[in-house]
Amino acid sequence: MNDFGGNRRQWVLLGTFVLLAVLLLGLMFVRSTRDESPPDAAPAGEGASEGTAGGGDGPAAGEGTQRSGDLFALLPNTEADLLDAARTAQEFTNAYVRTDEDRMDRLAEFTDAGYLNLLRSTEDRHTDLMGEPLPEGGVDTRSAVTGIRTIAEDTAVYIVGGEITRDGSRSGEYSFAVTVVKQDDRWAVIDVQDAAAGDAGGGA
């Protein structure tokens, strides 16, 4: 009886040891396979969305600059060209609203030759400005481009407005639609009229 009981305890201890060894080996195997497996792949589209949101390497980086360039590309002329055209319209108007003796000489710098001849032929009828007598010496005129009515390749119609001051006080105001075209390396005025009259027709 005693030998049987001792043998049974030995077998129980041996079985327990074997079971623990098997469990330990199994745990080590599972852990080793987990460490060797590649990391889980990100869900489809997750990387792209993160790149876009971060603004670093995603397609959104520089998108604002590209859009700005696309808008400028839609203009029929360069920005610098259109600024030169606007300055021409403004300087022409500054001279147009005056009755100084050198008025025609000043207009010639900004006016198409054919249109300048038309202005010369009507100079004696150039006596009023927007229904008011034209300003003579001793007054100041300040013109500014206030808008663009139409724009196309090498031509534009600018709205140029301003006011007339005498002795520091405003004595009148005006607004013209001034049509300019590009001629070789300069812009020239080919028509001017009351801005309220619309695009049709011309005025001197």
Which neighbouring-strand residues pair with 152? 155
**Confidence band for 34, pLDDT divided at 50, 70 and 90:** low
- The domain ranges of the chain are 1-35, 46-75, 79-197
From the CB of residue 91, how many other CB atoms can be counted at a distance below 10 Å?
17
pLDDT in tens, 41-51: 555 444 444 44
Lowest-pLDDT range, 89-93, 162-166, 196-200? 196-200
pLDDT band with cut points at 50, 70 and 90 for residue 13: low
Angle at 124 between CA 100 and CA 110, to 5 degrees: 55
- Using alpha carbons, select from 147, 138, 128 the residue that is nearest to residue 169: 138
Which range among 47-51, 172-176, 190-194 has the greatest average pLDDT? 190-194
Tell which CATH architecture fits domain 79-197.
Answer: Roll (3.10)
Residue 91 structure tokens: 């300087």
Decide if 107 contacts 99 (C-beta within 8 A): no
What is the pTM for the complete model shown?
Answer: 0.60
Taking the mean position of all CA atoms in its chain, how far away is CA 98? 36
**Is pLDDT at 184 greater than 70 in this prediction?**
yes
93 DSSP assignment: H
Mean pLDDT of the chain: 74
Question: What is the arithmetic mean of pLDDT over 9-38?
Answer: 58
What's the mean pLDDT in 48-64?
Answer: 49
pLDDT at 131: 60
CA distance 204 to 26: 102
Which range scores top for mean pLDDT: 69-83, 94-108, 122-136? 94-108
The band of 98, judged by pLDDT with boundaries at 50, 70 and 90, is confident
For 147, which DSSP code?
E
pLDDT at 159 over 80: yes
